[in-house]
Structure 1
């Protein structure tokens, strides 16, 4: 009997090693998967088949095979035309340290130009929305005013009360002749079926699950989720941030209560970049009904009435490349900090490079503060968050638990000029596995506003110290250490 068990264990271990090493991945994820496959025979392989496989070559080609040169050239021409028109008409945006922001951010701008082919978007007007009520009130009003086209992309589009309300607005605009396209993630929108979007399709609109051309068991994967939140209306108004579409984001879920998130609404040249990324996502998800990536209806001229003073870059990242663009942006932001680096994230599971960047900043005298929720939405992930929070606290980083409901915001504020708002968490999944989008902001007023919001959230948060972490129960600490071992694949 013992001999049989040893033989089976050797076979299981051998197959586990072959299974994991046959696909290239970073060493941390490699060892985490080997641990799962060895410690959980049979079941571990089932889990791996859904959550461990790399993105298929078919899906990779859907992204990598798209030619973006003409679209990028069109966007550059539109921005240049807006600059020249502004000069002719005497339009001079309010200064307010905008140049100072760009001086500090120049290396970050160059980084994104090189690894994400993302141009600096100028002349933007940005408004922050930090409650579900404010976000959805603005969104619904803008959707109702749409005249030509509406493009929405959300990780979660639930078929609940709010989901039906948003869908019905889209149906009404489609019947009025507005072109409507919706991308949703099949897993993130679990429970929302094709039937839910049937009224939209009947009205002439379109809806497609992200990169899911067939929903079969063989094709199903838990990884590589479309975590982006993009809205573009008439090519003039854009939204990006952390909110999804569902009742819980309005605080209607008793489990979470108040939902604290951060989204931004923008007009200006940054909308062109959001539009470009949506078009690429749509054409990769529904190649039988492609959208014209250089159409004037998606990229209208930038009118003076929509312009502001803020500079920003729209940055995307995903498993179709190994560049980890948003993670690189986060690290560069941390490196640029001289006075403060304040972070909000629901999931704090940094890889070694991000952990070291935070540790170096704190040891260099930077005021590093990280705010996370006081409650889990994914218990196993939350234990890993607690582990890393405790470790970072040892280096003088101030850790806060937000206690007024659930904190879902993904923000970073650096000094007086730089900030980031988007969909990417400070964790392995957002860095390596999910398709994400962030706005990196180079404007002192925007940075000061986000810092003010952070201070307000501090009033309903509790600081966690080295002492308080040391007082945690042994069983809780054990769960945290186990979660940490599997952090690269959570």
Structure 2
């Protein structure tokens, strides 16, 4: 009996290696990027007993069947609203063509599914208290329909404040639609959902697809954060619903984040993005409202909703276009910095053109492997002339881009492979000198609280730390 145990183990290990080889071949054919394909294939071939299960969860990123199904659902949704006299922006879109600053972003007119629209009013919401005060206040003033979408909703103090506010408005007859991501909100208890449903709130989870294996699929997550009230006022940015976003997690506090509110034609674009996601989850359209009138003047805005079902890698191409279009400066803040070769090349070229390139990252990690990988990328960027900073007071989670003196973008997209190719994201691009000045003032305050990364930091880093960074970098394309 004892003789057969080692033989049995050899057969088991051999079978696992065969599965690893098969999975490695599958990765070579299906993973979107060469870096990701190599990272998966090598690890599956040499250590399948470690990487097979993670590949089921994190891999299979092409997942063609899902992409086809999502695209079909999008077509059905757009067909369903074709007779609603939707997209009320023909005249407003004409004004955007006259903008020299927007004209520098030449690809965006074709890259985005919705155009750049004039006559919007926008406002910065800095950190959690300002953001949730404004959002909850707008919901309390709702008369007809509230659309709510977050990647994470927690059953904590702020989560229950949102729940109570939605239930109160539902009791008044306001139609409430809530969409949360099934993986991002995995800790949300069923009792929280049932309480909302009993109050008349329509609430759905955004999931990849049905099926046993797909339950473990954490790619194609819906990372968007959108709130729209009565089709008149919209919110978008980096904050989810959780007490940590208000700074109540001692490990990461104070939490630094940014949201933005918008009133005007761009709110219709936010509703359309929500409608696509709701249609996927519920196979029905939410109510889509248009106000009686828009502001007579204001800010040019484009809602850029991106995702893995796009015909192009819209999010990655936006960052590339932003970097290439900069003439004087480009400032970027992101909690995660995992650029690919094209992104690093664009940053190098911007420096060589004489553009001031600054990137602000957190000094505290929330994901240690990602932090280690981003540190190595940061050292490489510094050697290329990019000014890299780490925000010291607490965890920095905001996603902001500032281009020259007129263009800014605020939303949910990080500067990493997951946002570039695997998640559904949304950014609000604004073209306005006054608003860009507000963003500049906000970022100046952030940079003042940051420490600049230098070449000496790389030299002082211990070899064992560098080894860990390089190992983290090897798997960074699949993070």
TM-score (structure 2 length as normaliser): 0.91
Partner of 2:399 in structure 1?
Answer: 410
1:217 Cα shift? 5.5
Partner of 1:105 in structure 2?
Answer: 102
Partner of 2:89 in structure 1?
Answer: 79
Is the contact between residue 343 and residue 412 of structure 1 (CA under 8 Å) also seen in structure 2?
Answer: yes
Partner of 1:95 in structure 2?
Answer: none
Q: Which runs of 5+ in 2 are unaligned?
A: 1-5
1:142 pairs with one of 133, 138, 141 = 138
Cα-Cα RMSD: 2.6
Is the contact between residue 268 and residue 302 of structure 1 (CA under 8 Å) also seen in structure 2?
Answer: no
Distance 2:386 2:208 in 1: 41
1:222 Cα shift? 1.6
- Bigger Cα displacement from structure 2, 361-370 vs 7-16: 7-16
SS at 1:42 equivalent? helix
- Please list the CA deviations of residues 60-97 of structure 1 after superposition, one character each: whole Å capped at 9, or x if unmatched: 4144333326747867662357899xxxxxxxxxxxxx
1:270 Cα shift? 0.5
The count of residues paired between Structure 1 and Structure 2 equals: 468
Q: 1:407 to 1:73 in 2, by over 3 A?
A: farther
Distance 2:244 2:379 in 1: 29
Q: 1:150 to 1:77 in 2, by over 3 A?
A: closer
Distance 2:152 2:18 in 1: 41
1:15 Cα shift? 2.4
Distance 2:163 2:211 in 1: 22
Is the contact between residue 92 and residue 118 of structure 2 (CA under 8 Å) also seen in structure 1?
Answer: no
- Please list the CA deviations of residues 430-475 of structure 1 after superposition, one character each: whole Å capped at 9, or x if unmatched: 0011110011111111211111111111221111111122211112
1:376 pairs with one of 356, 365, 369 = 365
Q: 1:77 to 1:367 in 2, by over 3 A?
A: closer
1:111 Cα shift? 2.3
1:253 pairs with one of 222, 241, 249 = 249
SS at 2:222 equivalent? coil
1:184 Cα shift? 0.5
Distance 1:379 1:458 in 2: 23
SS at 2:155 equivalent? coil
> Where do residues 165-204 of structure 1 align in structure 2 (5 Å cutoff)?
165-204=161-200
- Please list the CA deviations of residues 313-362 of structure 1 after superposition, one character each: whole Å capped at 9, or x if unmatched: 10111111351112211111111111111110000011111111111001
Is the contact between residue 346 and residue 410 of structure 1 (CA under 8 Å) also seen in structure 2?
Answer: yes
Q: 1:13 to 1:184 in 2, by over 3 A?
A: closer
Matched, 1:462 2:451: yes
Distance 1:363 1:471 in 2: 27
Matched, 1:37 2:27: no
SS at 2:252 equivalent? coil
Partner of 2:34 in structure 1?
Answer: 27
1:267 Cα shift? 0.3
SS at 1:123 equivalent? strand
Partner of 2:310 in structure 1?
Answer: 321
Is the contact between residue 92 and residue 119 of structure 2 (CA under 8 Å) also seen in structure 1?
Answer: no
> Where do residues 22-421 of structure 1 align in structure 2 (5 Å cutoff)?
22-54=29-61, 55=63, 57-58=65-66, 60-67=68-75, 68=78, 71=81, 78-80=88-90, 102-108=99-105, 111-211=107-207, 214=210, 216=212, 218-287=214-283, 290-291=284-285, 298-304=288-294, 306=295, 308-421=297-410
Distance 1:262 1:278 in 2: 20
Q: 1:342 to 1:39 in 2, by over 3 A?
A: same
Distance 2:391 2:82 in 1: 41
- Please list the CA deviations of residues 196-216 of structure 1 after superposition, one character each: whole Å capped at 9, or x if unmatched: 121211121111111356585
Distance 1:83 1:391 in 2: 41
Distance 1:417 1:423 in 2: 20
Q: 1:196 to 1:461 in 2, by over 3 A?
A: same
Distance 2:471 2:93 in 1: 55
TM-score (structure 1 length as normaliser): 0.89
1:112 Cα shift? 3.0
Q: 1:103 to 1:218 in 2, by over 3 A?
A: closer
Q: Which runs of 5+ in 1 are unaligned?
A: 85-97
SS at 1:298 equivalent? coil
Distance 2:332 2:148 in 1: 27
Distance 1:408 1:369 in 2: 16
Q: 1:73 to 1:136 in 2, by over 3 A?
A: same
